[in-house]
Amino acid sequence: MFERMFRAIVRFSPLLLAAALQAPPVWASPLVLPFSGIGKVTPGPGFDPSSPVWPLEVLPVFTSYELASEPGWTMSASFDYSFITLTGTGTFTLADAFGNSLFGNIDTVSDPSNGPLGGFDITYTVLGGTGGFAGFIADGFSEVVLTSDPRAFPTDFTESGFIAQRVMLSAPPAPWLALLGLLILASARYQTRHRKSTP
């Protein structure tokens, strides 16, 4: 029985190894960073009030943010908002004065329940960063509350939310690769001894 098992391991070990290396990554979220801030929404390049899609911007000079209770951060964003779908898509950068930043994509959805003047729910996809956040991959969510007339620019807002880091665990986990290697090694040794003991 053991001989058949070892033969099977040797025979199928390349397939097992290939399957292990192609296993999908496993993600975890060990670090959650709360953030909050204030800012202004302004018209972006090509703005046309008669269009159903408005290009909008959040300029860093008009913002003041905290990340993980640390002040001194600013937000910049550029996105297109559709009055047809009441949604928007664009990009963002959250940065401080010391070369640290997070950047990526945003998706916005209008939420009239976010205060008397309404607001937005924003989904963040952090694609990277600089400084202490180099290689940072994360997802986030926030609620934006409009604090001035949304029909007049610039429009004031407050924002609060969180960013949750994604960390890729080894795929496949290292212990499985080690176990597979040990089984292949044991199989090879068994086959060698078996041949030597066979007259």
pLDDT of residue 18: 55
Exposure letters 140-159 (e unless 16+ CB within 10 A, then b): bebbbbbbeebeeeebbbbb
Phi, psi dihedral angles at 12 (to 5 degrees): -100, 5
94 or 170, higher pLDDT? 94
Where is pLDDT greater, at 168 or 130?
Answer: 130
Confidence tier at 167 by pLDDT (50, 70, 90): confident
Q: What's the pTM value of the predicted model, to 2 decimals? A: 0.71
Q: Residue 191: pLDDT band by 50, 70, 90 thresholds?
A: low
CA-closest candidate to residue 44, choices 157, 154, 158: 154
- The CA dihedral of 104, 107, 112, 114, to the nearest 10 degrees, is -30
Does 54 score more than 60 pLDDT?
yes
Report pLDDT digits (tens) over 56-84.
Answer: 999 999 999 999 999 999 999 999 999 99
Residues 116-163: tens digit of each pLDDT: 999 999 999 999 999 999 999 999 999 999 999 988 999 999 999 999
**What pLDDT, in 10s, does the model give residues 5-35?**
545 545 555 555 555 555 555 555 468 999 9
39 vs 172 pLDDT, higher one: 39
